[in-house]
Homo-oligomer: A and B are copies of this chain.
Amino acid sequence: MAWQSESIMARRGIAKGARGAHHVITEKDQGKYHYVYGPYVEPVLTIDPGAVVSAETHDAFEGAIKHETDSPSKILNFPFLNPQNGPIYVNGAEKGDTLAVYIESIVPRGPQPRGTTVVMPEFGGLVGTGNTALLNPALPERVKKLEITAEDGTRWNDKITLPYEPFIGTIGTSPEIEAISSLVPDYYGGNMDLPDVGTGAVIYLPVNTKGALLYLGDCHAAQGDGELCGVAIEHPTVTTVQVDLIKGWPIAWPRLETKDFIMTIGSARPMEDAARIAYRELCRWMAADYGFEEIDAYMLLTQAGRVRLGNMVDPKYTLGASIKKSFLV
């Protein structure tokens, strides 16, 4: 991880990139998983900046969908969906700071077939939903149970195998006074479903309340842009992250850094507003930290910006806008 020593996390974080204590949150440690991002529960763990945390995450259905003959609409009990580990209290974190989370590894766990994806009524990008409320009949329900290994990926069918490209579907800090469903992505992170939030990346999250209260869960073994039917390849994992704290760096929306690019992440409806948020944040970041005038950043992004669509199915849609570090000169 050579590049990470040059990351913003390493340069500005309190722990300066040094790996601290290693904590583990097993299913048993976690006990009750959470369905909202909020400040109204006790932390499951308290850490210092630099600490490494390995968490046993559930899949988005908390393992409830076991067979291809199961009916998701009968089994699932809204709003008790998308269970989250946490919250993790980070010592010293206060409103106006930023949490840096390096994603060290994501390892599938649990008995095979570990992977699940479904089509269910009123959910998905190409069907009527509770928001795009229509009178058309629903599609039939469908469940696929899938074998996943880190080495071989996801066996989709006899002909198709999807490489294992895991990422954290839902990660974020607590809002200050709100407690928001873990199905929602917003300024504090949450259910962004953005494949760039994968192994080797650093995600930066705004701290809104004392201790930051980091939550995470909902890891995907693979996902296309947009998470079209609403359900990626959901699977339980052991996810390991290193957490650092950047004091006095207030950010309005999540940011992400890899070896090659920096990215800002916006979540909103309609989708163009998610793109506007992401790109405006990127203009502002380039202006604040890389010596651009805002209008020059705007003009350069017109020629060199890149967009990744996270989800087009959640209560807000998520897009990341990025620029290569090689242009930040």
Contacts and interface: CB of A to CB of B under 8 A. Distances in A.
Contact of A134 (B80, B176, B230, B280): B280
Contacts of A126: 133-135, 276, 279-280, 283, 298
Contacts of A301: 224, 228-229
A38 B252 CA distance: 24
B128 A273 contact: no
Interface in A111-151: 117, 119, 124-128, 130-140, 142, 144
Given A40-B40, A139-B136, A176 B79 contact: yes
Given A127-B134, A159-B329, A306-B225, A317 B272 contact: yes
Nearest to A327: B160
Interface stretch (A50-58, A65-73, A263-271): A263-271
B135 A283 contact: yes
Nearest to A305: B224
A299 B134 contact: no
A275 B303 CA distance: 22
Contacts of A131: 268, 273, 276-277
A175 B266 CA distance: 25
A85 interface: no
Contacts of A275: 125, 226, 271, 309, 312
A277 to B, nearest CB: 5
How many protomers of this protein does the assembly include? 4
Interface in A283-316: 283, 294-295, 298-307, 309, 312
Interface of A is mostly: loop
B273 A272 contact: no
A194 interface: no
A135 B127 contact: yes
Interface stretch (A3-11, A98-106, A178-186, A199-207): A178-186
A177 interface: yes
A271 B270 CA distance: 7
Which of A224, A273, A275, A303 is the most central at the interface, judged by chain B CB atoms within 10 Å of its CB?
A303
A223 B305 CA distance: 8
Contacts of A212: none
A310 B29 CA distance: 47
12 contacts: A38-B40, A80-B177, A127-B135, A131-B273, A133-B277, A135-B280, A162-B304, A224-B301, A226-B275, A228-B279, A269-B273, A275-B312
**Which 8 pairs across A and B sit closest by C-beta, in order of nearness?**
A270-B270, A224-B305, A136-B136, A271-B271, A225-B307, A179-B179, A133-B280, A228-B302
Interface of A: 35-36, 38, 40, 79-80, 117, 119, 124-128, 130-140, 142, 144, 154, 156, 159-160, 162, 175-181, 222-233, 252, 266, 268-273, 275-277, 279-281, 283, 294-295, 298-307, 309, 312, 317, 321, 327, 329
